[in-house]
Amino acid sequence: MQRQPAVAGQFYPGEQQKLQSVLSQLIPEYPAPKRVTGVISPHAGYVYSGAIAGQLFSRCIIPGTVLIIGPNHHGAGAAAALYPDGEWLTPLGASPINSRLNSLLLQHTPYLQADTAAHRSEHSLEVQLPFLQYLRPDITFSALCIGRGEYAPLRDIGHGIAAAIREYGEDVLIVASSDMTHYEAAVAARLKDQLALDRAVALDGKGLLEVCRSRGITMCGVVPATVMIEAALKLGATQAALVAYGTSGDVTGDNRQVVGYAGVTVS
């Protein structure tokens, strides 16, 4: 099964050479990248959030296997949808789904279902892949699209992911795909996003979920971020850091209604 790109030519360039050129500009040279367990990475059009994603990924040693977890913007398919098999295409080429990791995820992780419908038009996972392909062309990956959820089942999913990765026996980077506050004035967005990022950097998955819901913080990938934090803690993570933050207003100059973007490492 081959997934065709849904947003190439929209969120990022649809031609190989142009995409490579854009990524070379977005991903700075970083002298000492480190192994990390997980990241929170934005997923808007590259013109808006690509520089933040580039700063984030430049600081990470990208292992041969990645698990990308994204929100379900469209509501299609299973509530916790694991793309079953095959490969995903981008203008940089095809990257295969890691069938062994998939099998372990289905074995160890409650609520997951093999499903393609949730992924067909979803951009939040797709836009992460060219960054990973550029830095690690031989990458294999698993793709998990998750809708809304309460803390307890999300914690259980995170723990199941950790168990699967432990049995997998090789380094796996967990990428939680998320933008931050949507369509508020830049000052208000920054204040709200700081509340959420404080919880993320404290590795407080429950607190992150709760503050987003109690304070109306429209962080679209709060569920993937919560799952990533819970998995990372089970895998021994002890610290997190905010690499970069910005808003669409930094690009457009219009700060009346912005979207926030953040890059966070967990190790």
Instruction: State pLDDT tens for residues 157-166.
Output: 999 999 999 9
Cβ atoms 49, 252 nearer than 8 A: no
Q: What pLDDT was estimated at residue 35?
A: 97
Give percent of the chain above pLDDT 90.
Answer: 99
Give the chain's domains with CATH numbers. Answer: 32-266 (3.40.830.10)
Q: What pLDDT was estimated at residue 1?
A: 87
Average pLDDT score over residue span 34-58:
98
154/160 Cα distance (integer angstroms)? 10
pLDDT of 148 higher than 90: no
Average pLDDT score over residue span 237-242:
98
Q: Parallel, antiparallel, or unpaired: how do β-strands 172-177 and 38-41 relate? A: parallel
Q: What pLDDT was estimated at residue 105?
A: 98
What average pLDDT is seen over the chain? 98
Q: What pLDDT was estimated at residue 63?
A: 98
pLDDT of 208 higher than 90: yes
Q: What are phi and psi of 177, to 5 degrees?
A: -95, 120
pLDDT of 265 higher than 90: yes
